[in-house]
C-alpha cells in the first residue's frame, strides 16, 4: 500500500515538473514576420527569448520599463518595438533578474532569459547577446502574443 502511494506521488511530481506551461501565442504569420528581423528607422526592437527546455512547466513574467510584456515559456520569445533611449527589462522569478540597455534607432537587440535552478522555484538571468546568436536562438522559438 505504501509503495503504491509513493509510486503515485512520484509520478504526479514528475508529471508536474515535466509538463508544459502555456501562454497565448501569436499567429504563425506574426511569428514568421518577426523572424524577418527587419529594423525600423526611428525605433529599436527588443527580442527577449527563452530557448531552453529547462523549467518547461514554469511561466516567467517579464517587465519592460515596469510594464508587463507577458510570460515566457520554454522555446518562446517576446518582441517589443521601443523608442530610442534607456530601457529596463526585469525577469520575475525566484529572483528578479534585471538588465538595462540603451536602445539606438534602427537596431535590433536580443536578450536571452536564461533559466537557472532555484531553491524553491526557477531563477533566471538576463544576457544581452550578439545579433547572430540572438537571431539563431529566436528562429528556434515561437512568438508570444
- Pairing, β 85-92 against β 76-82: unpaired
Place of cell 520569445: 77
Domain range annotation of the chain: 22-143
Q: Which CATH class is domain 22-143?
A: mainly beta
pLDDT tens track, the chain, 145 positions: 544 434 333 333 333 444 456 778 889 999 999 999 999 999 999 999 999 877 667 788 999 999 999 999 999 999 999 999 999 999 998 788 999 999 999 999 999 998 876 666 677 899 999 999 999 999 999 999 8
Cα(99)–Cα(126) distance, integer angstroms: 6
- Does an H or E element contain 52, and which? none
* Overall pTM surpassing 0.85 (yes/no): no
Dmax (CA) of the chain: 68
Amino acid at each position: 500500500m505504501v509503495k503504491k502511494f509513493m509510486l503515485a506521488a512520484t509520478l504526479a511530481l514528475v508529471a508536474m515538473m515535466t509538463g508544459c506551461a502555456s501562454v497565448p501565442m501569436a499567429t504563425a504569420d506574426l511569428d514568421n514576420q518577426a523572424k524577418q528581423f527587419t529594423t525600423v528607422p526611428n525605433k529599436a526592437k527588443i527580442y527577449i527569448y527563452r530557448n531552453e527546455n529547462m523549467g518547461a512547466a514554469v511561466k516567467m513574467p517579464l517587465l519592460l520599463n515596469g510594464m508587463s510584456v507577458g510570460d515566457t515559456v520554454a522555446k518562446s520569445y517576446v518582441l517589443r518595438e521601443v523608442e530610442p533611449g534607456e530601457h529596463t527589462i526585469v525577469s520575475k522569478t525566484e529572483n528578479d533578474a534585471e538588465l538595462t540597455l540603451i536602445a539606438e534607432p534602427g537596431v535590433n537587440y536580443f536578450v536571452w532569459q536564461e533559466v537557472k535552478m532555484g531553491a524553491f522555484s526557477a531563477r533566471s538571468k538576463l544576457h544581452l547577446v550578439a545579433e547572430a546568436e540572438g537571431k539563431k536562438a529566436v528562429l528556434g522559438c515561437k512568438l508570444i502574443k
